[in-house]
Amino acid sequence: MKWLVLLGLVAFSECIVNIPLTRVKIMRKTRSENDMLNNFLKEHSYRLYQTSSPGSNIATHPLRNFEDMVYVGNITIGTPPQEFQVVFDTGSSDLCVPSILCTSPSCSSHVMFRYIESSTFLPIGKIFSFEYGRRRMKGVVGRDTVRIGDLVITDQQFGLSVEQSGFEGMPFDGVLGLNYPNISLTGGIPIIDNLKNQGAISEPVFAFYLSKSKPEGSVVMFGGVDKSYYQGALNWVPLIQPGDWRVYMDRISMEGQIVACYGGCEALVDTGESSIIGPRRLVDKILRFLGAKLGGSKHYVSCSAVNNLPSIDFTINGINYPLPAQAYTIKHSSHDCSINLEADTESTSTETWIVGVVFLRQYFSVYDRGNDRIGLA
């Protein structure tokens, strides 16, 4: 499960919620913004609510970007509200934050939920334990009121960590999962489901626009799609099966040559993961194709060569989505640029790629629970 993040939203019945994001430059210069997103909305079984103006019926909420890769936003939990910075993550299904009971060193640098100060908190009497890559969290489960901008979810089940590791130095307190309920590790109903069930949004749809060139401008929207964030038509991709934001990918190619995903593979679209992650042997093949050299734990190319590097082309449902070198490289110094491509340490029976923020900063993405599909523009 990965991290990513950002978001803003809000919606009442027939309205959309937009939440602007702010990026914070940490490790590299911001890159020029080229060809933003472009499409959305083909024919579908129900009408997605749309608006062409960012004015009426849209609530915005500022978010910030960490190291140009992770988009985080504020939510509140409890009564009176206690504020947390969280990652909005399509790779997981649970809301989890540190609790005042946590004694792990990493908890002291984050906001911890003070359950005894919330008049609406209810304990569940259940424990949970899970991992997000190198990060681990164990704790107890409770229920309380959660607010995201103007959206309010009552009686939301969530995890309160009492022990955690791997969160040191992270600019967020917890994670807000946006995946399907079947992969919930706390056994609760995910927030996107409760937003629909409680009438806060009219359709179980959310979308991400991640800014590529400035601290602000990134948004997440719930209940529909704001047309001002895309042009043209959205390309809909059916999920391999309901229950996970996983789609079929045709191939990965460079300069017309297939370099991975021969004969098709799986791609998990993950807003909580910063990188593109794939099988080691195939990642190594792409790195060799780019002429990248290993330096420590990363592979580097000369920054002067970036403009001459080929794009990595992801073909999904017959549509080609090029990822230019300016998008998949990170400038560390005036000379060294690393490749934001990682090898998966876990082996699976099928070839699987995790498509994270590196890709999603290039393309607008819509997540349609009602029709079990993802839209890309």
Q: For the domain that residue 320 is a member of, what is the CATH number?
A: 2.40.70.10
Structural domain includes residue 252: yes
Give pLDDT, residue 334. 77
Whether residues 233 and 355 share a domain: the answer is yes
| % pLDDT > 70, the chain | 80
Structural domain includes residue 287: yes
Average pLDDT of the chain, as a whole number: 83
Final residue before a domain boundary, out of 201, 236, 252: 201
Whether residues 232 and 363 share a domain: the answer is yes
- pTM of the complete model: 0.85
> Which residue bears the tokens 């005894």?
116
Catalytic residue among 144, 173, 270, 313: 270
Final residue before a domain boundary, out of 201, 219, 250: 201
Give pLDDT, residue 3. 37
173 has catalytic annotation: no
Whether residues 196 and 236 share a domain: the answer is no
Structural domain includes residue 57: no
Total number of domains in the chain = 2
226 has catalytic annotation: no
Structural domain includes residue 39: no
The boundaries of the domain holding residue 290 are: 228-376
Structural domain includes residue 291: yes
Whether residues 132 and 186 share a domain: the answer is yes
Whether residues 233 and 163 share a domain: the answer is no
Predicted confidence band of residue 219 (pLDDT cuts 50, 70, 90) = confident
Query: What is the C-alpha to C-alpha distance for residues 224 and 26, in angstroms, rounded to an integer?
Result: 32
Whether residues 190 and 261 share a domain: the answer is no
Give pLDDT, residue 7. 33
Whether residues 297 and 241 share a domain: the answer is yes
Q: Alpha-carbon dihedral of residues 326, 270, 151, 7, nearest 10 degrees?
A: -20
Whether residues 183 and 238 share a domain: the answer is no
Whether residues 191 and 66 share a domain: the answer is yes
The SS3 assignment for 122 reads strand
Give pLDDT, residue 9. 31
299-315: per-residue pLDDT in tens? 999 999 999 999 999 99
Comparing 53-57, 96-100, 197-201, which segment has the lowest mean pLDDT?
53-57
Structural domain includes residue 77: yes
pLDDT at 118 exceeding the cut of 80:
yes
Whether residues 372 and 232 share a domain: the answer is yes
pLDDT at 83 exceeding the cut of 60:
yes
Q: How far is CA 256 from each of CA 113, 157, 233, 252, 260, rounded to the nearest angstrom?
A: 52, 48, 25, 10, 12
Give the number of other CB atoms < 10 A from CB of residue 138.
Answer: 17
Catalytic residue among 89, 226, 244, 313: 89
Residue, of 155 and 44, whose pLDDT is higher: 155
pLDDT at 48 exceeding the cut of 60:
no
Whether residues 234 and 372 share a domain: the answer is yes
Whether residues 370 and 249 share a domain: the answer is yes
Residue, of 51 and 83, whose pLDDT is higher: 83
224-281: per-residue pLDDT in tens? 888 888 877 899 999 999 999 999 999 999 999 999 999 999 999 999 999 999 999 9
Give the number of other CB atoms < 10 A from CB of residue 336.
Answer: 16
